[in-house]
A and B are shown apart, each in its own frame.
Chain A
Amino acid sequence: MSETKGLTRQQMADRVAREFQDGWIVNLGVGIPTMCSNTDIGDRDITYHSENGVIGYGPVAAEGQEDLNLVNAGGQNVTLKPGAAVVHHADSFGVIRGGHIDATVMGAYQVSMTGDFANWKLAGQKGGGIGGAMDLAACAKRVFIILEHVTRKNEPRLVQACDLPITAKGVVTLVMTNYGLFEPTGTGFRLREIAPGLTVEDVRAVTGGTLTVADGLKTIAV
């Protein structure tokens, strides 16, 4: 990956995983969000749900131990934790639409200050890759987004309004970037925690809308 400031991909995933509370049912999207399951969050009991109906999967299977008929949403051969269950696709999305998912973590191209986000279609692309993102975005109790803070052209991905087609409107509750941890406020973003080595001005320069800063701004422990 290209040289970036602030947190690594795993450090972003680690910080988001520390938001998960004991007993939560969590859906992790493809890419960086998958790394949340690597984070040690002590004895908190988290049940990971995957769109294909696997409820209660564990780490990726060791080399040679893979069950080729068991994958997570990213197509990785995972393991099952004791007490896991498998349901079919319509039931799996019943879990999602029915409001049984406490948090979903997804990647995105853009997040807006009103909590919209875009992650299924690039400008000018015909077709797209929606997968389960629209169902999860519309129905999970909390939508957490992990993304690089800026594009390769150094343009903000935290924007006033998404110019890419959105996945859902006004649903994002938490935004994790390599620059820090944010909440959309409606008029901008509130910086809750900042990555080590960066200043508030560094962040403000590449963030859309009005950046507000949490009282007693903390630096993210890595």
Chain B
Amino acid sequence: MTQRSKVVANFAAAVADVPDGATIAFGGFAMPGTPFNLIKALMEQGAKRLTLVANTTGGAQQPRMPDIGMLVENGQVAKVICAFTAATRPTDVLPFTKYYESGEVDAELVPQGTLAERMRAAGAGVPAFYTPTAVGTELAKGRETRVINGREYLLEYALPLDYAFIRARTADVLGNLRFHRSQRNFNPVMATAARCTIAEIDDPIQPAGSIDPDDVHTAGIYVHRLVQVPPSPEGIWPAKREARAR
């Protein structure tokens, strides 16, 4: 019996088959766990009319790293699904904003916990769920709610993905993953919801069996392709955020 390695030679090869119109989720919360190298490769690959799922559209922090706002600027995006479609500081204008305001790109604004749970549900075979989040707000207008044990809940649907682009610290060739600190964030959840999960990996990819089964964060069954991140400057690594003026 041979176990097939999921390691792909480079980022271009890993994203080569992404078709126009695909739904792709990107892990990451601020810098940690963001698949910078896969984003860059997708910009070069050029697939269009994409629906992108991520926490933010990017562009609020300096230095600016590859983010889904760059795919928007590159003309590849039809719609984003995010917990932030504007900056947390109202005075900041995101690169994404002008594409949204002009109607060139559509956006669905989803509370962060609902966003995570919609993907968790998709990965776990749950088609929809009720949550107390956003009840009584503009987001709940005209939507189905239900009172359960005296409290009102909002119906939310699972969010299945074609691809998940994620980043982890450690992997074996079968795609068993471990994350470092807050690198984990959305990554394990997105991996479960996607038909094809592509992971960029910080540390040298290990032979099968090198991660103790009890220590695996994301099981290899959820991961389809692995790419080793080369050292900087060829590979893109998290940078120190620049301090901002108040």
Contact = CB atoms under 8 A, between A and B. Distances in A.
A153 interface: no
Interface string B39-56: 000000000000000010
Given A68-B238, A70-B181, A93 B112 contact: yes
A69 B238 contact: yes
Contacts, number: 160
A56 B88 CA distance: 24
Contacts of B112: 51, 89, 93, 130-132, 135
Interface string A67-80: 11111000111001
B5 interface: no
A164 to B, nearest CB: 10
Interface string A158-182: 0000000111110000000000000
Contacts of A126: 85-86, 97, 100-101
Interface residues of B, dominant DSSP: loop
B183 A165 contact: no
Given A30-B88, A89-B189, A93-B117, A71 B31 contact: yes
A127 B106 CA distance: 10
Contacts of A128: 84-86, 109
B211 interface: no
Contact of A138 (B110, B134, B240): B134
Interface string B143-169: 000000000000000000000000001
- The residue among A67, A71, A122, A133 with the most chain B CB atoms within 10 A of its own CB is A71
Contacts of B120: 90
8 contacts: A86-B181, A97-B113, A129-B83, A130-B109, A131-B55, A134-B134, A139-B132, A169-B135
